[in-house]
Amino acid sequence: MGDGSRPGGRQPAKPAGREKRSRRGGKSSARERQPGQRRFSPASIGADVVLLGWFVFSLFPLVWLVLLSLKSESEQISTYFTFSPTLRNFGTVLSSEGARLTSVNFSDALLTSVLNCVGAVLVSLVIGVPAAYAAGRWQYKGSGDVMFTILSFRFAPELMVIVPLFVIYNQLGLFDTNVGMIWVLQLVTMPLVVWILRSYFQDMPAELEQAALLDGYTRTRAFLMVALPLVRPGIAASALLAFIFAWNNYVFPLILTGSGHTPVTVAVTRFLGGGGQAFYSLTAAAAIIAALPPLLVALSIQRYLVRGLSFGAVKA
Amino acid sequence: MGSLTVTGLRARYGRTEALRGIDLDVADGEFFVILGPSGAGKTTTLKSVAGLVDDVDGEVRIAGRAMTGVEPYERNVAMAFESYALYPQKTVEQNLASPLRSGRSGTWSAAEQAERIRQVTTTLGIEHLRGRFPRELSNGQRQRTALGRVLVRPADVYLRDEPLSHLDAKLRAAMRAELKQLGEMSSTTTLYVTHDYQEALALGDRVGVLREGRLVQVGTPEQVWHAPADTFVARMFGQPEMNLCSADLSAGLAAVPTGGIAARPPASTAARPPASTAARTGRGGIEVGLPAELADAAGGSGASVRLGIRPRDLDVLSGPEPADRLVLRGRVTLAERLGRLVELSVDVAGEAVIAVTDDQRVREGDQVVMAVDWSRVHVFASGEPGTDTARLGSAAPLATGADALGGAR
C-alpha cells in the first residue's frame, strides 16, 4: 500500500481497495476504467517527460522552418528568436525574382508537381484498384510472390534503379517529360494503392458479390456495383497517401528531370544555391509553400480518411 | 421453377474434403431440407449448386440443364445467404430491386418492379422499411429483407442458407411458421439448409441428413424421425438427445437377470410375436427382445448391440406398470426444472437414462418407473463409443421362459 503512489495522499489512510484509489479525485461518480487510463506514479510522470522531449524534438524543425521563412535575408543566419518578421520571402519565391535566383520558375514547378502527382495517382487507381481486387479475392499458386514483388518496389532503394532508369529514359526520350515522371512515380504509388486496397477488399465479405452474381450480374458488374462503392473510403485513403508519397519524392525527379519539368521538391533545394549564395529563408518559404497542396488535399478528404483508416477495424 | 439433380458432388478446400459425393434429387416444387452440424458441408452444397464454388466434381442439373461451366448469373438460381449479404449502400427497396434490374430474371418496367416489391414486402411485413438501409434494421428485419430479395424474383431453384440461425428463439419459431406458409403459398423448388432439427421436420417435404460431406439419410420427416438410418441421425433429431446404451445378446433367455429389473411381459398380451433373443445392458438394467432376423443381423448370441430410446418416448408412470411395454426402474440423480417440463437423469442399474416428464413432484433421489413402447426402442449395431453405427430395427417384447422354449431354434 505505497502512500506515495498518489498525489494528495495525506488524508487519513482508509482501508479502501484498489478501485477506490484508482479513481481520480475520489469523486463519488462511478467510472469505468478505460484501457489507456493510468494512475499517477513516478514511472508515469517519467514517461510523460520522455514523451514531451520527443514531441519537442520532432516538432522543433517545423517551428524553426516557419521562423526561418519569416526572417529577412540579413537575419537568416542568426539563431535568435527575436527578429522583425516579414512575408516578403513568400513573394520572392513565387515571383520572377525567385526564378532569376534559381533559374527555375517556382510556380511552374508547383504546376508540374500537381500534374505529375495527380497523373500518377489516377493511373495508379485505374490499374491498382482492379489489381487490388484481384489480389484480395483470388488466391493462386504464387499469388503471394506477386504481391511481394509489388511491395518490393516500395522498399528497394530508389538509388538502386536510378542509373539504369536514367539511361533508359534518355534512350526513350522520356527524360525531363511529364509522362516520364508519371511513369516513374508509379513505382512509388502503385504498390501503396494495391496493398492498402487489397486489405479493404479482403475485409469485405465475398458473399456480397456472390449475391450480386446470383441476382444476375456479371462479375464485372458485381465489382462495379457492389465492391467498388464499398471501398470508397479506402480509395480516398490510399489516393491521399499515394499523392503525398509522389509529391515528396525527390530522387527520381532530381535525376530524371532537367530544368524544363522540375517538380517542386527539386525546385525548393535550388534556393540553397549551387555554389553561389544560399538563401535559407527563401528555401524555408519555398518548403512551406510546397507543403501546402498535400495539406489541403488531406484536409479536404479528411472525412473519408478517418473513416477509411478505421474501416477494417470493426466488422461492418 | 424446375427440378434439381445433383450427382456425385465432390468439393475440397485445400486438403480438407468438404463434400464426398452428394447425390440429390429434388423434384419440381419440392421443399428439401439439408440438416447437419456445422462443418458438415451444408453451405458448400448450396454454393456448389449456385456455381459459387470452383473446382467441384460431379454434376448439377437444374431444370434438366447441365450446369457444368455455367456462370452463377446464368443459372437462374436465387439464394439467401446465412450472412444475409445485403448491399450495405442500398436501401431495402434497392436491395430487392437488384435482381429485377439485372435483366436476367425477366424484364421489369419500373412500375412492375415497384408493384412486385410492394407485394413481397407486404407479405413479409417490411413494407414500412423500404427506405431504410440494412444497418438500420434489426436482425429479424434483415433476415426478411434477404428472404425478400430471393422471393421477389422468378427462379428455377431457391437456395436458403440457415435463414433463421441468427434469430432469437421466439422470433425463430414465429419465422418458422411464416416460412411454412410462404413455402406452401409459392410451392417452389427449394433447397433449405439448417442445423435445427425442428426446422427440418417442420418445413421439409423431405430431409437429407448431412455428415462430413456425405448424405447419411434422405427421407420424409416421419422416416428420419421414426427410422433413423444410424445413431448419428438418431442423435441429430430430438432434444434432449436419444439415450444410447450398449447391450449384449443372449439367446434362449436362459440367463434371466436375477435382479428382476428387466420387464418380461406375458407374451400373449404382446402385439408382436415374442422374441427369443434378448439384448441386455451391462448390469441388466434394460432388457429387450430382438426379432430373430434382427438378432441374426447383429451377429447372434454373444454379440452386442446399442439400444436407443428417445427421452420423450419414455413415460414416467405413477399408476400400475403396463404389461405390454418396456418398463425401466431407477433412481433420479438430477431433475432440471424447465418450466412446464422436468428433465430427469435417471440411474437405471448403472445406465444414465434421460427422460422428460411434466410431473413437477419428482425430486432427486426418488425411485421412478418409466415405460416405453417396444417399437420405440431402436436397435443399432454395436460400435466404439463416439462412432456412429447403423440402425438394425426396433425391439420386440421379450419372451417368457415358456415361450422361449417354444420358440427356440
The CATH number for B138's domain is 3.40.50.300
Global ipTM: 0.82
Regarding whether B150 and B257 lie in a shared domain, the answer is: no
- Structural domains counted in chain B: 2
Q: B177 or A120: which carries more pLDDT confidence? A: A120
Among B177, B207, B236, residue at a domain's last position? B236
For chain A, the DSSP string reads --GGGSTTTTSPPP---HHHHHSGGG-SS--PPPTT-----HHHHHHHHHHHHHHHHHHHHHHHHHHHHTS-GGGTT---S-----SHHHHHHHSHHHHHHHSS-HHHHHHHHHHHHHHHHHHHHHHHHHHHHHHHH---TTHHHHHHHHHHHHHS-HHHHHHHHHHHHHHHT-TT-HHHHHHHHHHHHHHHHHHHHHHHHHHS-THHHHHHHHTT--HHHHIIIIIHHHTHHHHHHHHHHHHHHHHH--HHHHHH--STT--HHHHHHHTT-SSS---HHHHHHHHHHHHHHHHHHHHHTHHHHHHHHTTTTS--
Regarding whether B151 and B222 lie in a shared domain, the answer is: yes
Whether the pLDDT of residue A124 is over 80: the answer is yes
pLDDT band at A74 (very low <50, low <70, confident <90, very high): confident
Contact (CB<8Å) A229/B79: no
Which residues does chain B have within 8 Å of residue A204's beta carbon, measured at their own beta carbons?
A: none
Regarding whether B249 and B216 lie in a shared domain, the answer is: no
Contact (CB<8Å) A216/B52: no
Q: Of A217, A218, A229, which is closest to B89 when you measure between CB atoms?
A: A229
Whether the pLDDT of residue A40 is over 50: the answer is yes
Regarding whether B76 and B52 lie in a shared domain, the answer is: yes
Among B196, B215, B236, residue at a domain's last position? B236
Q: Of B51, B88, B104, which is closest to A216 when you measure between CB atoms?
A: B104
List residues in chain B touching A: CB distance below 8 A: 47, 50-52, 71-73, 75, 77-79, 81, 83, 85-89, 98-99, 102-105, 149, 153
Regarding whether B303 and B192 lie in a shared domain, the answer is: no
State percent of chain B over pLDDT 70.
89
pLDDT band at A79 (very low <50, low <70, confident <90, very high): confident
Q: B171 or B150: which carries more pLDDT confidence? A: B150
Regarding whether B152 and B61 lie in a shared domain, the answer is: yes
**Average pLDDT, rounded, for chain A:** 84
Among B212, B236, B260, residue at a domain's last position? B236
Mean per-residue pLDDT, A113-128 = 96
The answer to whether the pTM exceeds 0.90 is no
Whether the pLDDT of residue A12 is over 50: the answer is no
Q: Which domain holds residue B231?
A: 4-236
Contact (CB<8Å) A218/B79: no
Regarding whether B287 and B144 lie in a shared domain, the answer is: no
Mean per-residue pLDDT, A302-306 = 74
Contact (CB<8Å) A210/B78: no
Contact (CB<8Å) A226/B87: yes
CA distance A273 to A219: 56
Q: Which residue of A has its CA nearest to B86?
A: A208
Contact A116, A248 (CB under 8 A): no
Regarding whether B192 and B313 lie in a shared domain, the answer is: no
Q: Of A213, A214, A316, which is closest to B88 when you measure between CB atoms?
A: A316
Question: What integer pLDDT is reported at residue A307 of this predicted model?
Answer: 64
Regarding whether B143 and B8 lie in a shared domain, the answer is: yes
Contact (CB<8Å) A213/B87: no
Contact (CB<8Å) B81/A215: no
Omega before residue B240 within 30° of 0, cis: yes
Mean per-residue pLDDT, B183-196 = 80
Q: Which domains can be identified in chain A, with CATH numbers?
A: 42-92 (no CATH), 99-309 (1.10.3720.10)
Top mean pLDDT of A25-34, A93-102, B261-270 is at A93-102
Regarding whether B84 and B133 lie in a shared domain, the answer is: yes
Identify from A137, A209, A213, A215 which residue to disrupt to test chain B contact, counting B C-beta atoms within 10 A and taking the largest count.
A215
Contact (CB<8Å) A216/B71: no
Whether the pLDDT of residue A249 is over 90: the answer is yes
Q: Of B73, B89, B149, which is closest to A230 when you measure between CB atoms?
A: B89
Encode pLDDT of B377-403 as tens digits.
Answer: 898 988 887 888 999 888 877 765 444
The enclosing domain of B386 has a CATH number of: 2.40.50.100
Least confident among A34-48, B24-38, B81-95: A34-48
Regarding whether B195 and B263 lie in a shared domain, the answer is: no
Question: What integer pLDDT is reported at residue B274 of this predicted model?
Answer: 57
Contact (CB<8Å) B73/A230: no
Q: Of A207, A216, A217, which is closest to B85 when you measure between CB atoms?
A: A207
Encode pLDDT of B81-135 as tens digits.
Answer: 998 999 998 999 999 999 999 988 888 999 999 999 998 898 888 899 999 999 8
Q: Of A213, A219, A230, which is closest to B88 when you measure between CB atoms?
A: A230
Contact (CB<8Å) B87/A214: no
Regarding whether B284 and B401 lie in a shared domain, the answer is: yes
Question: What integer pLDDT is reported at residue B273 of this predicted model?
Answer: 53
Question: What integer pLDDT is reported at residue A14 of this predicted model?
Answer: 43
Encode pLDDT of B346-371 as tens digits.
Answer: 998 888 899 999 888 888 999 999 99
